[in-house]
Amino acid sequence: MRPDLLNPLFAETGSLKGVGPGLARPLDKLGLTRIRDLVYHLPERFVARRPILNLDEAGVGENIVVALTVQEHRAPAGRGPFRVLATDAAGNFVAITYFGRAAYSAKKLLPVGAKRWVAGRLDQFGQSLQIVHPDHVVEDSAELLGQMNEPVYPLSEGLTQNRLHGLVQQALGHLPDLPEWIEPGQLDRSGWPKWADAMRSAHTGSAEAARDRLAYDELLANALALMLVRAGNRNRVGQQLAGDGHLRAKLHLPFALTGAQTRSIAEIAGDMAQGAPMLRLLQGDVGAGKTAVALHAMLIAVEAGAQAAMLAPTEILARQHFATLSKMLAGTGVSIAILTGRDKGRAREATLMGLLDGSIHICVGTHAIFQETVAYRNLGLVVIDEQHRFGVGQRLMLTQKAKRTPHCLAMTATPIPRTLTLAQYGEMDVSRLDEMPPGRQPIDTRVIAIERMADVVDGIGRHIEKGGQAYWVCPMVREQETEDLAAAEARHAALAARFGDKVELVHGQLRPEAKDAAMERFVRGEALVLVATTVIEVGVDVPNATLMVIEQAERFGLAQLHQLRGRVGRGSDKSTCLLLRGEALSETGRERLALMRETQDGFRLAEEDLRLRGGGELLGTRQSGDTPFRVATFEQITRLLPVAHDDARLLMDRDGGLASPRGAAARVLLYLFERDWGVQLLRGG
């Protein structure tokens, strides 16, 4: 149970003053559903504002605070913006400009004749000066002038800096006094403030020590939780599964295993023969051949008289695995079934029976395979594909289902740097498929300016005329969801206008059935062009799709580009990946795209990605989904993770049951970062 002293932090954001239903959605989008989330929503930067008397004193692009008198309202002609003309003390004119619905509030905020303090960025518009969507408009200067270093928060549509700032301030008023979980020596050495102080400082200035402390907390929580899982796992009872090889001998794969595959299978077999349950990660780049390794592991379980289950993150991947594995298993006498949320009625009943009486040896499916109603006769191995889609907590739930803990093999194609492997999968042993099956053709990767869009579309036309299929990927980030979605839809419309109903669109906002239907049309070759956001990143295998276009490639992380590119180059034909870049490309952006052209080694790209981002000029260069962290930036991970890891180790050695006062504080930390699955294991065993 969560310690009571954390309750104020876990209260809903809706309990704050002034949060109505209108704010719920934008807050939800940012993941700010509880007070805890708000206080950990750290500013991405701070702006320094300069108070000025006279607009002549300020440069264009400068953030200023100035007293203005409103002269005139200019309603838009047609779809233009709403402008408020105002003058400073010297009579210089400036236009305060509002787009869209913001215009309504502007009239009230800035009535004609009134004097107001306006804070914002001074811009030039033609010959005149303007301030677009000022950050603040107030009657009284005191508040503004007292705060010259203002936080800028990541926003979502429907939220303003002002609103969010107000909410964060309210939330900061609810900070409880938490016991110290950091070792005193570490606190002294680094000069870090206490938790609540660090929290408040992080919102008021670019307080490096405060930010480091908060990041360290997160890293420590993660390291501790993983160690607890690992320790808990060691104490559990598994079953020794040593296959005799009779089923594996019947396999007739159309290829010889690579050295890396053979080595990984041997490592897995070694684990499964032990009494303690296996907890192993199989890390291998896209196309490295993880499925064949998983198949061998599952056959070991079946040879030893147990069952195996394989979990895929999506319906479509589950079906694909089922088809591939069924083909590979032909003639072995091993029975395999599929179970997803979509399988209903008699077929489902039959599968459930088969799992219960043991006549089904291998079950492939989505999380449906672990629902309450699904019982196995003797589940000996769980394989989790594309592990990064599932959290450690979910994984634990899965393996706790059986009386005896099944062995667990998690697989991931996300090539993460070694430092992050520790952070993300520290509780597991790792096998790496660091060798590609022979005969793969390198993917011809090119960087092309967006201006050449028409040529690219012509190229697609020629490609599909020759019977090929193509992916067209559009960026999608949470903060910019609406615009991104609109752009993807527009691209789909444009391509459909040219190529007709051979073009499909998939994105994360579609209902799962609609998404699967579109994907399936592409898999079956009925659709030839698949316009998609990053939802196709994982696992889909269409060997005939040998062309990929990635629009605004500079907006993707390197690791993500690599994952995407891995969707092509799967057949024997030569594949091409076109990275369309926008006009304004930063130095780093240029470097990153050049790297994509240069190498196809996922691990190298991951290391470089970390290096390029680690230099981070911004305070908060996070990209959601890339790491399990919300607070720690790449730079902080690189610098602080080893320290946090050592400290966690030390604490575990001294007080593995977290019973001392510092241990109790560490439990609070685990709950604070919602890594309490570690604590629950502790209590359970």
> Smallest distance from the beta carbon of 390 to ligand ADP, in angstroms?
16
Helices (H) and strands (E) in the chain, counts: 24, 22
| Cβ distance to ligand ADP smaller for residue 165 or 280 | 280
Q: Which helix (H) or strand (E) holds 473?
A: strand 469-473
| Cβ distance to ligand ADP smaller for residue 191 or 439 | 439
CA distances from 377 to 309, 355, 593 (A): 12, 6, 51
> Smallest distance from the beta carbon of 288 to ligand ADP, in angstroms?
4
What backbone phi and psi angles, to 5 degrees, belong to 252? -125, 80
Nearest to 276 by CA among 404, 456, 160: 404
* Spatial distance between the Cα atoms of 663 and 654, rounded to a whole number of angstroms: 9
| Cβ distance to ligand ADP smaller for residue 226 or 292 | 292
> Smallest distance from the beta carbon of 334 to ligand ADP, in angstroms?
18
> Smallest distance from the beta carbon of 570 to Mg ion, in angstroms?
10
- How is 520-563 classified by DSSP, letter by letter? HHHHTTS--EEEE-GGGGSS---TTEEEEEETTGGGS-HHHHHH
> Can you tell me which of 106, 288, 312, 672 binds ligand ADP, judged by CB under 6 A?
288
Q: Interface residues for ligand ADP in 650-669 (CB under 6 A)? A: none
* Spatial distance between the Cα atoms of 129 and 127, rounded to a whole number of angstroms: 7
> Smallest distance from the beta carbon of 368 to Mg ion, in angstroms?
19
Interface mask (CB under 6 A) for ligand ADP, residues 531-570, using x and -? Answer: ----------x-----------------------------
Q: Give yes or no for residue 572 binding ligand ADP (CB under 6 A).
A: no
Alpha helical stretches, state H, 177-289: 184-190, 195-202, 208-234, 259-272
The one of ligand ADP, Mg ion, none whose footprint includes residue 255, by CB under 5 to 8 A per kind, is ligand ADP
Nearest to 386 by CA among 480, 456, 314: 314
**Does residue 469 contact residue 529 with C-beta atoms inside 8 Å?**
yes
* Spatial distance between the Cα atoms of 241 and 278, rounded to a whole number of angstroms: 11
> Can you tell me which of 232, 284, 468, 475 binds ligand ADP, judged by CB under 6 A?
284
* Spatial distance between the Cα atoms of 82 and 104, rounded to a whole number of angstroms: 9
Tokens standing for residue 543: 């060997």
Cα dihedral: 337, 343, 345, 348 (round 10):
20
What backbone phi and psi angles, to 5 degrees, belong to 129? -95, 150
Cα angle 579, 585, 591; round to 5: 70
Instruction: Pick the piece of the chain touching ligand ADP (CB under 6 A) from 235-243, 280-288, 590-598, 634-642.
Output: 280-288
> Smallest distance from the beta carbon of 568 to Mg ion, in angstroms?
15
Q: Interface residues for ligand ADP in 420-449 (CB under 6 A)? A: 437
> Smallest distance from the beta carbon of 312 to Mg ion, in angstroms?
9
The one of Mg ion, ligand ADP, none whose footprint includes residue 431, by CB under 5 to 8 A per kind, is none
> Smallest distance from the beta carbon of 24 to ligand ADP, in angstroms?
40
> Can you tell me which of 120, 289, 313, 602 binds ligand ADP, judged by CB under 6 A?
289
> Smallest distance from the beta carbon of 535 to ligand ADP, in angstroms?
17
User: Of all residues in this chain, which one has the CB nearest to ligand ADP in the complex?
Assistant: 289
> Smallest distance from the beta carbon of 315 to ligand ADP, in angstroms?
17
| Cβ distance to ligand ADP smaller for residue 291 or 560 | 291
> Can you tell me which of 291, 307, 546, 560 binds ligand ADP, judged by CB under 6 A?
291
> Can you tell me which of 55, 286, 374, 422 binds ligand ADP, judged by CB under 6 A?
286
> Smallest distance from the beta carbon of 291 to Mg ion, in angstroms?
5
Which are the contacts of 72, defined by CB distance < 8 A and separation ≥ 6? 84, 85, 112
Q: 545-550 and 63-74: which strand pairing?
A: unpaired
The one of ligand ADP, Mg ion, none whose footprint includes residue 264, by CB under 5 to 8 A per kind, is none
* Spatial distance between the Cα atoms of 656 and 671, rounded to a whole number of angstroms: 17
> Smallest distance from the beta carbon of 327 to Mg ion, in angstroms?
15
The one of ligand ADP, Mg ion, none whose footprint includes residue 325, by CB under 5 to 8 A per kind, is none
> Smallest distance from the beta carbon of 23 to Mg ion, in angstroms?
41
> Smallest distance from the beta carbon of 500 to Mg ion, in angstroms?
32
Q: Interface residues for Mg ion in 531-560 (CB under 5 A)? A: 539
The one of Mg ion, ligand ADP, none whose footprint includes residue 258, by CB under 5 to 8 A per kind, is ligand ADP
Q: Site size for ligand ADP, by CB under 6 A?
A: 15
Nearest to 474 by CA among 492, 494, 447, 456: 492
Interface mask (CB under 6 A) for ligand ADP, residues 229-268, using x and -? Answer: --------------------------x-xx--x-------
| Cβ distance to ligand ADP smaller for residue 43 or 602 | 602
CA 577, 583, 584, 590 dihedral sign is positive
| Cβ distance to Mg ion smaller for residue 534 or 633 | 534
Nearest to 575 by CA among 450, 436, 468: 468
* Spatial distance between the Cα atoms of 473 and 561, rounded to a whole number of angstroms: 10
> Can you tell me which of 243, 287, 365, 406 binds ligand ADP, judged by CB under 6 A?
287
Cα angle 515, 482, 82; round to 5: 160
Which are the contacts of 243, defined by CB distance < 8 A and separation ≥ 6? 269, 272, 299, 300, 301, 302, 303, 304
Tokens standing for residue 48: 């320094």
The one of ligand ADP, Mg ion, none whose footprint includes residue 243, by CB under 5 to 8 A per kind, is none
| Cβ distance to ligand ADP smaller for residue 161 or 324 | 324
| Cβ distance to ligand ADP smaller for residue 413 or 612 | 413
- How is 8-70 classified by DSSP, letter by letter? HHHSBGGGSTT--HHHHHHHHHTT--BHHHHHT---SEEEE-EEESSGGGSPTT-EEEEEEEE
**Does residue 294 contact residue 310 with C-beta atoms inside 8 Å?**
yes
> Smallest distance from the beta carbon of 395 to Mg ion, in angstroms?
17
Interface mask (CB under 5 A) for Mg ion, residues 487-526, using x and -? Answer: ----------------------------------------
| Cβ distance to ligand ADP smaller for residue 113 or 254 | 254
Instruction: Pick the piece of the chain touching ligand ADP (CB under 6 A) from 290-298, 490-498, 548-556, 674-682.
Output: 290-298
Task: Count the helix, strand and coil residues of the chain and give each as a percent rounded to the nearest 5.
Answer: 45, 20, 35
Chain residues in the site for ligand ADP (CB under 6 A): 255, 257-258, 261, 284, 286-292, 413, 437, 541
Chain residues in the site for Mg ion (CB under 5 A): 539
